[in-house]
Amino acid sequence: MTETLRIIPIGGCGEVGKNMTLIQYGDEAIAVDCGVMFPENDMLGIDLVIPDVSYLKQNPDLLKAILLTHGHEDHIGALPYVLPQVSVPLYATTLTRGLIEVKLREAKLLNKTEITTITTESVFEVGPFKIEPFHVPHSIPDAVGYAIYTPAGLVVHTGEYKFDPDPIDGRPPDIERLTSYGDEGVLALISDSTNSERPGSTPSEQIVSEAFEKLFTQIKGRVIVSMFASNISRIQQVINTAAKHDRKLAIVGRSMVANVKMARFLGYLDAPEGMIVSVDEINHHPDHKVAIVCTGTQGEPTSALVRMANDDHRQLRIKDTDTVILSATAIPGNEELVHRTIDNLFRLGANVIYQSLMPVHVSGHGAQEEQKKMLRLIRPQYFIPTQGEYRMLVLHGRLGEEVGIPKENIFIIENGDVVEFDDEGGFLNETVDSGNILIDGLGIGDIGSIVLRDRRLLSRDGFVVVTLAIDSETRELVGGPDIVSRGFVYVRDAEDLLEQAKKRVAKLVRRNKLGPDATTGVIRDSLSQFLYQRTHRNPMIFPMVIAV
Amino acid sequence: MTETLRIIPIGGCGEVGKNMTLIQYGDEAIAVDCGVMFPENDMLGIDLVIPDVSYLKQNPDLLKAILLTHGHEDHIGALPYVLPQVSVPLYATTLTRGLIEVKLREAKLLNKTEITTITTESVFEVGPFKIEPFHVPHSIPDAVGYAIYTPAGLVVHTGEYKFDPDPIDGRPPDIERLTSYGDEGVLALISDSTNSERPGSTPSEQIVSEAFEKLFTQIKGRVIVSMFASNISRIQQVINTAAKHDRKLAIVGRSMVANVKMARFLGYLDAPEGMIVSVDEINHHPDHKVAIVCTGTQGEPTSALVRMANDDHRQLRIKDTDTVILSATAIPGNEELVHRTIDNLFRLGANVIYQSLMPVHVSGHGAQEEQKKMLRLIRPQYFIPTQGEYRMLVLHGRLGEEVGIPKENIFIIENGDVVEFDDEGGFLNETVDSGNILIDGLGIGDIGSIVLRDRRLLSRDGFVVVTLAIDSETRELVGGPDIVSRGFVYVRDAEDLLEQAKKRVAKLVRRNKLGPDATTGVIRDSLSQFLYQRTHRNPMIFPMVIAV
């Protein structure tokens, strides 16, 4: 490899560089983040999606460290899967480290992993890189971006940010630091595109605090607030409001409890002594003294909120005096599940407050005006919009043009694309192996496009298996045919159809007297035609011919 | 049956009364609308969902007519499926009738169906009902609501409406008529809840015209506008703007072409002579003289727009000077497909304008202020919010309370619930059979919860079929075991696993020497345990044992 600088987003499942971005100089590289994505709706049966690190495995000594920007799943969640493949030291702020440790302990990787705690005062070196974390406000405390000094110039990775003047943790954006990088001269800016479709600025977290305050003042019964388990800032907001209104608070759900415990231990969550109680205990307090925080904003079937909505939670039953607040928006693809959850809560008589009714959630990402502000502060020579889907990158790129970056210096790229910088400037080089690695059960990456295609076909029209035995010499039918079918027709009501199919198969075998392989082909063709004619469906058909 | 009035929503797939509502007096009933729903994401392999008319089949002489409110799919689309089950006369306005006839002709039902054309001046009688259609502005011309005089009192069904002061067809809402019903005294109002989550009023269609005008003025290349095939008003807006800017217009897509033809024939679409040309011809005009209207706003894989976005449309290829306008919002559940389509169009270099960027779409349904206005005009004694999901009905019901309807006179009901009115007033009576009838290929209603559950299981972890032959006397293994599996593991990479599974099965058979049924059970238990241990997946397992 020549001594050039390369910037390569490699993880994000459609959102470029959302989960992982490589910054390489010569034969040494660092990665920013290592997160998971939730599968898209057509990734049937898949649990999680992680970045494809083939490029790092093909170049085993390349990666020197992973820098984490903040403690959300889509930025740290793939560490348990990636570290066994590419074992490198991690750098993270205190809270982010705490949340990582929870994961690595569970995966039995904590002892094997070197983690360095950093602060926004840290300056550290990895290979040819000198790195300065800088503070950014996001929907979790202790989030940072990274200023990465490389021999080719300064690269700034924003992490995920908004310019919230009044964030929950009291730490506004570090404008001074960003300005100073701009003054020094930045070669390339890698910046968060999430909200490039939204004009204006994202409202401050304070409007959520105000909505909570208003609601807690009105509500006479229990208040149940649902949110992402890693939304530590939002949890703090509920704690603050509940404390003011003299309500006890129960944290419900395994991941939520673990995160709150960790964040309190590390001093990132501040609750009055004795205020947080167990779920068992909360049921002994009068309703107007009770608040509950839980997960389930995405309608996840196993979450506490969905169990409550279905009236099958072990410890909590919805009452018609309850108010449920959904403090998050539905991730695209989850709308139906979320709506169903809201409907079911209403059916149980609860009042439900969600974003279309009141500002009980705001995004953690800056909108267009903030994105332009970032661009104006950093004034980069080159601009690489990342952490968004393609259209968001395009729109973010346009904002770059608006603030004066030449169009040819803006790279709208996809995962695996390599932006390379040599003496003459930045250009798009060849791509590296990259894609989505799908996790299903214990399997990492063994489910590819073929298995997914089969699952898709099976989900549409099911399958039909016909089994029969033929005598290997006479080729006479000696057993069967039997049929098993699922997902195609309701077998009990379709006895006639399946009986006819069997007769057809038996006749075919008797008439043709072919060997097993030829018989298989003949049966498949004949049956698929017959079944389509009768049903206009195309089940997968598998004849299994045993020669005995 | 006693002589009472019954109001029963029976179709809507989660949206109460969206597709069909029954109004029954004594032993005679009329239905309002007969539409289809698109399947929800977890209704795997289902093409369409239609209302369950079991109640009408159980009472074969009950239904006397179906009144249609407007020509959208979710209001007329189930006629080809329902009429063969319950053959009754239809009442519809001219355009609605035209759109119905397209459907019935295709289904070879047109000759068998009696249709009466009605206008907003009509008054007609069906059984004990005297019926007056009244004009409502919606996103299609010739939409009506119905004032239904019953022996028990006047029932008003709003159809779908907004109080657009300046609609495309030039016909503002008929406030006078609505006021007169209010003055006469209305027993029950059945009203559109779609937008009860939205504060304020829905903007007039004019803002879309203004956005189109602005875009057509700026755009130098081709303009491609995508919308629902039945959005006749929006097509008129494109025609108006394209005509003004001297562009030829091509209509692309089978359903779109059929609707436009019908609407022009009936005088509901007004285009200058020679302006609308074929797709073949449009390619001979210079780009700045070209506009195209097509379907695909929901990311439907076979739609014209999605084919263009995937660069595999037979006649149209996206150019980097094209502008594509998505004049619709994504129906919940379709977001991923819509986003993918937008992303792919951007990838091909087109500019894409969609609702988050410009007001190129507005809803056809009134928001909260309009819903309150309707309630204030009609001043009903009882209020039944319909045409919405449960939460929307709840919120619409609250608006009813706001304008002074007593809470106990507001019925938040589900499909199949019966609101009955006797001398003492309205009350909730028992429910009738109702639900979703799923259409898959030629099958109407043969796919129920069991087939769907199987499709769901297959889509998650696939299946494994093991086939083997045993001697019916000695119970020795004489053929197989063979395995076929799809959707579980990638068979080529899992040879080892499947080989071990086979060996395990062979050993079981040899050791146990059981009959076919017992062998089946033993194999299923053993394999499911073995495969779960190895993969943490739960494929459906089917042992097929042939005794020869």
- CATH number reported for the structural domain that contains residue A389 in this entry: 3.60.15.10
Beta bridge partners of B470: B477, B547
Q: Do B494 and A446 touch (CB under 8 A)?
A: yes
Q: Which residue in the set B442, B458, B546 is minimally distant from A469, CB to CB? A: B546
Segment B321-333 shows an average pLDDT of 94
- pTM of this prediction? 0.93
Q: Which residue in the set A339, A441, A450 is minimally distant from B490, CB to CB? A: A450
pLDDT of B434 higher than 90 = no
Q: Do B446 and A494 touch (CB under 8 A)?
A: yes
Is-cis flag, bond preceding A481, omega within 30?
Answer: yes
- pLDDT on residue B381: 98
Q: Do B537 and A467 touch (CB under 8 A)?
A: no
Q: Does B339 touch chain A (CB under 8 A)?
A: yes
The residue of chain A nearest to residue B414, with distances taken between CA atoms, is A347
Residue A460 with chain B: CB contacts under 8 Å? 44-45, 455
Is B464 within 8 Å of B542 (Cβ atoms)? yes
As for how many domains chain A has, the answer is 3
Confidence of residue B169 (pLDDT cuts 50, 70, 90): confident
pLDDT of B516 higher than 90 = no
Q: What are phi and psi of A542, to 5 degrees?
A: -125, 105
Residue B474 with chain A: CB contacts under 8 Å? none
pLDDT of A1 higher than 60 = no
The alpha carbon of residue A450 is apart from the nearest alpha carbon of chain B, in Å, by 7
Is residue B475 a part of any domain in this protein? yes
pLDDT of B1 higher than 50 = no
Confidence of residue B491 (pLDDT cuts 50, 70, 90): confident
Residue B440 with chain A: CB contacts under 8 Å? 461, 537
Q: Does B441 touch chain A (CB under 8 A)?
A: yes
The alpha carbon of residue A124 is apart from the nearest alpha carbon of chain B, in Å, by 38
Segment B231-239 shows an average pLDDT of 95
pLDDT of B342 higher than 70 = yes
- pLDDT on residue A331: 87
Confidence of residue A92 (pLDDT cuts 50, 70, 90): very high
pLDDT of B299 higher than 70 = yes
| Closest of A397, A400, A227 to residue A325, by C-alpha | A227
Q: Which residue in the set B44, B442, B469 is minimally distant from A460, CB to CB? A: B44
Do A13 and A137 belong together in one domain? yes
Is residue A266 a part of any domain in this protein? yes
SS (H, E, C) A72-106: CHHHHCCHHHHCCCCCCCEEECHHHHHHHHHHHHH
pLDDT of B115 higher than 60 = yes
Q: Which residue in the set A460, A488, A548 is minimally distant from B548, CB to CB? A: A548
Could you give the residue ranges of the DSSP H alpha helices within A91-231? 94-106, 175-184, 206-218
Q: Does A190 touch chain B (CB under 8 A)?
A: no
Radius of gyration of chain A measured on its C-alpha atoms: 28
C-alpha angle with apex A509: A506 to A513, nearest 5 degrees?
155
Radius of gyration of chain B measured on its C-alpha atoms: 28
Residue A461 with chain B: CB contacts under 8 Å? 45, 440
Residue A455 with chain B: CB contacts under 8 Å? 458-460, 462, 486-487
Do B175 and B221 belong together in one domain? no
Q: How many Å apart are CA B12 and CA B23, to the nearest integer? A: 16
| B193, B342, B351, B459, best to mutate vs chain A, most A CBs in 10 Å | B459
The alpha carbon of residue B176 is apart from the nearest alpha carbon of chain A, in Å, by 32
Q: Does B299 touch chain A (CB under 8 A)?
A: no
| Closest of B19, B18, B30, B9 to residue B150, by C-alpha | B30
Residue A389 with chain B: CB contacts under 8 Å? 339, 343
pLDDT of B440 higher than 50 = yes
Q: Does A210 touch chain B (CB under 8 A)?
A: no
Q: How many Å apart are CA B83 and CA B103, to the nearest integer? A: 12
Confidence of residue A496 (pLDDT cuts 50, 70, 90): very high
The alpha carbon of residue A451 is apart from the nearest alpha carbon of chain B, in Å, by 5
pLDDT of B191 higher than 80 = yes
State the residue range of the domain holding B86: 5-200+363-444
Is residue A457 a part of any domain in this protein? no
Do B467 and B524 belong together in one domain? yes
pLDDT of B2 higher than 50 = yes
Q: Is A483 helix (H, G, I), strand (E, B) or coil?
A: strand
Is A297 within 8 Å of A226 (Cβ atoms)? yes
pLDDT tens readout for residues A267-287: 999 999 999 999 999 999 999
Task: Give the amino acid at A513.
Answer: K
Residue A484 with chain B: CB contacts under 8 Å? 465, 542, 544
Segment B293-308 shows an average pLDDT of 95
Of B331, B353, B375, which one is at a domain's C-terminal end? B353
Do B413 and B342 belong together in one domain? no
| A392, A455, A482, best to mutate vs chain B, most B CBs in 10 Å | A455
SS (H, E, C) B355-422: CCCCCCCCCCCCEHHHHHHHHHHHCCCEEEEECECHHHHHHHHHHHHHCCCCHHHECCCCCCEEEEEE
Do A211 and A196 belong together in one domain? no
Is residue B142 a part of any domain in this protein? yes
pLDDT of A129 higher than 80 = yes
Do B346 and B378 belong together in one domain? no
Segment A177-193 shows an average pLDDT of 98
Do B344 and B231 belong together in one domain? yes
CB pairs under 8 A between A and B: 210
Is residue B455 a part of any domain in this protein? no
Segment A328-357 shows an average pLDDT of 94
The alpha carbon of residue B332 is apart from the nearest alpha carbon of chain A, in Å, by 6
Q: Looking at residue B472, what DSSP letter applies?
A: T
Q: How many Å apart are CA B496 and CA A273, to the nearest integer? A: 57
- A344: domain CATH number is 3.40.50.10710
Q: Which residue in the set A390, A440, A461 is minimally distant from B45, CB to CB? A: A461
Q: Do B42 and A535 touch (CB under 8 A)?
A: no
Q: Do B458 and A455 touch (CB under 8 A)?
A: yes
Q: Do A458 and B488 touch (CB under 8 A)?
A: no
Of B332, B353, B374, which one is at a domain's C-terminal end? B353
Q: Is B488 helix (H, G, I), strand (E, B) or coil?
A: coil
Segment A289-300 shows an average pLDDT of 96
Q: Which residue in the set B352, B455, B479 is minimally distant from A391, CB to CB? A: B352
Is residue B535 a part of any domain in this protein? yes
The residue of chain A nearest to residue B444, with distances taken between CA atoms, is A535
Of A306, A335, A353, which one is at a domain's C-terminal end? A353
Q: Does A530 touch chain B (CB under 8 A)?
A: no
Is residue B500 a part of any domain in this protein? yes
Tokens read off for A24: 């390489």
pLDDT tens readout for residues B303-324: 999 999 999 999 999 999 999 9
The residue of chain A nearest to residue B198, with distances taken between CA atoms, is A356
Tokens read off for B474: 């000695």
Chain A 475-494, CB below 8 Å of chain B: which residues?
478-480, 482, 484, 486-490, 493-494
Which ipTM value was assigned to this complex?
Answer: 0.91
C-alpha angle with apex B282: B276 to B284, nearest 5 degrees?
135
Is residue A452 a part of any domain in this protein? no
Do B66 and B151 belong together in one domain? yes
SS (H, E, C) A333-367: CCHHHHHHHHHHHHHCCCEEECCCCCCCCCCCCCE
Do B345 and B265 belong together in one domain? yes
- B498: domain CATH number is 3.10.20.580
First to last CA, chain B: 61
Q: Do B447 and A544 touch (CB under 8 A)?
A: no
Q: Is A209 helix (H, G, I), strand (E, B) or coil?
A: helix
Residue A343 with chain B: CB contacts under 8 Å? 14, 389-391
- pLDDT on residue A366: 97
Q: Do B394 and A336 touch (CB under 8 A)?
A: no
Q: Do B45 and A480 touch (CB under 8 A)?
A: no
Tokens read off for B544: 């097929």
Q: Does B468 touch chain A (CB under 8 A)?
A: yes
Q: Do B469 and A546 touch (CB under 8 A)?
A: yes
Q: Is B292 helix (H, G, I), strand (E, B) or coil?
A: strand
| B15, B335, B472, B536, best to mutate vs chain A, most A CBs in 10 Å | B335
pLDDT tens readout for residues A364-385: 999 999 999 999 999 999 999 9
- pLDDT on residue A2: 59
Do A348 and A376 belong together in one domain? no
Average pLDDT, chain A: 95
Q: Which residue in the set B441, B534, B544 is minimally distant from A537, CB to CB? A: B441
The alpha carbon of residue A333 is apart from the nearest alpha carbon of chain B, in Å, by 6
| A354, A459, A497, A524, best to mutate vs chain B, most B CBs in 10 Å | A459
Do A335 and A229 belong together in one domain? yes
Q: Which residue in the set A459, A487, A546 is minimally distant from B479, CB to CB? A: A546
Q: How many Å apart are CA A46 and CA A68, to the nearest integer? A: 25
Q: How many Å apart are CA A6 and CA A428, to the nearest integer? A: 10
Q: Do B458 and A461 touch (CB under 8 A)?
A: no
Do B9 and B154 belong together in one domain? yes
Chain A 411-440, CB below 8 Å of chain B: which residues?
440
